[in-house]
């Protein structure tokens, strides 16, 4: 009788071990899904799940949330990065990395700088002309956000005012280089003149036309998605 009982207990122990193993695998899968879920939810296409936040649970029936599920990857592709995302007043993703910048307008132009000094009746002259490419856009930080209305009908791009992100000199030409009889142009003066040319060029690039183009291009990046997903795009500049 005791031998039969011992024999019957063996499958029970095996079944118990299998159950524990299955539970462990299930827990592991839940943990992995938790870490990867947010990325795939917003940027890899529609997934029929909710998203837990500090303010509570966003229902899948929420139209704004549904828009993000359907268009998340397209938003990412249009902007080139994953921005902070707010639905209504609830932040559901982000902010993006503080090291990100988005260039939305470029401008090629020329700028000249003249340097002239007279000493003891002797005049020296130096005139430089440079070719430049200026890039304007937006720093992507806490202030940059994609705000989706709860009804999913409006997508607002919230950002700071555009600024010059870079101004690169692609070529420099010496138009005039004249020494006075005893008033010669020194090496440090040539270096200072080139630095001043760069400074003035950057200042000249910061014009309304380039800043307006940067703003317009940002909104236009989402324009192809408006008819596709039936929403209106707005832009709000933060102080």
Which residue's entry shows tokens 């200072």? 192
Nearest to 160 by CA among 142, 178, 181, 184: 142
**pLDDT for the residue 30:** 35
**pLDDT for the residue 205:** 94
Nearest to 206 by CA among 176, 239, 163: 163
Please count the CA atoms within 13 angstroms of the CA of 69 that sit on its side-chain side: 16
Report yes or no on whether pTM surpasses 0.75.
no
Could you tell me the residue ranges of all domains in the chain? 45-238
What end-to-end distance do the CA atoms of the chain give, in Å? 85
- Which residues have C-beta within 8 Å of that of residue 153, sequence separation ≥ 6? 63, 230, 231, 232
Please give the Cα distance from 78 to 80 (Å, whole number). Answer: 6
- Which residues have C-beta within 8 Å of that of residue 127, sequence separation ≥ 6? 112, 113, 114, 115, 174, 175, 176, 177
**pLDDT for the residue 57:** 45
Q: Quick check: 155 and 217 in contact, CB under 8 A?
A: no
**pLDDT for the residue 36:** 38
Is the CA virtual torsion 186, 187, 190, 193 positive or negative? negative
Instruction: Quote the Cα angle for 124-130-132, to 5°.
Output: 155
**pLDDT for the residue 181:** 85
**pLDDT for the residue 169:** 96
* Cα–Cα separations (whole angstroms), residue 70 to 25, 63, 122, 128, 199: 31, 10, 73, 54, 46
Please give the Cα distance from 55 to 156 (Å, whole number). Answer: 21
Q: Is 214 exposed, middle or buried (0-12, 13-18, 19+ CB in 10 A)?
A: buried
**pLDDT for the residue 153:** 94
Give the CA dihedral 131, 136, 73, 62, nearest 10 degrees: -170
**pLDDT for the residue 33:** 35
Ordered mean pLDDT values, 10 residues apiece, the chain (239 residues): 43 44 37 38 43 43 87 92 90 78 94 92 93 94 91 94 95 92 89 96 94 94 94 90
**pLDDT for the residue 42:** 53
**pLDDT for the residue 197:** 97
């Amino acid at each position: 009788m005791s031998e039969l009982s011992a024999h019957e207990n063996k499958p029970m122990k095996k079944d118990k071990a299998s159950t524990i193993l299955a539970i462990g695998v299930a827990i592991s899968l839940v943990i992995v899904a938790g870490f990867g879920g947010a990325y795939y939810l917003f940027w890899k296409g529609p997934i029929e799940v909710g998203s837990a936040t500090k303010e509570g649970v966003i229902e899948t029936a929420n139209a704004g949330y549904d828009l993000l599920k359907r268009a998340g990857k397209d938003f990412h592709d249009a902007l080139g990065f994953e921005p902070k995302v707010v639905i209504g007043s609830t932040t559901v993703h982000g902010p993006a990395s503080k090291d990100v910048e988005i260039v939305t307008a470029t401008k090629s132009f020329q700028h000249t700088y003249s340097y002239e000094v007279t000493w003891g009746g002797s005049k020296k002259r130096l005139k430089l002309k440079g070719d430049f490419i200026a890039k304007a856009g937006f720093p992507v930080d806490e202030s940059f956000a994609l705000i989706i209305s709860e009804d999913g009908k409006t997508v607002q791009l919230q950002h700071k005012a555009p600024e010059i992100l870079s101004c690169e000199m692609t070529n420099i030409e010496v138009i005039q280089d004249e020494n006075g009889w005893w008033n010669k142009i020194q090496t440090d003066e040539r270096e200072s003149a080139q630095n001043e040319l760069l400074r003035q060029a950057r200042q000249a690039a910061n014009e309304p036309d380039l800043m307006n183009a940067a703003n317009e291009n940002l909104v236009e990046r989402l324009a192809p998605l408006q008819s596709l997903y039936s929403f209106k795009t707005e832009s709000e500049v933060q102080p």
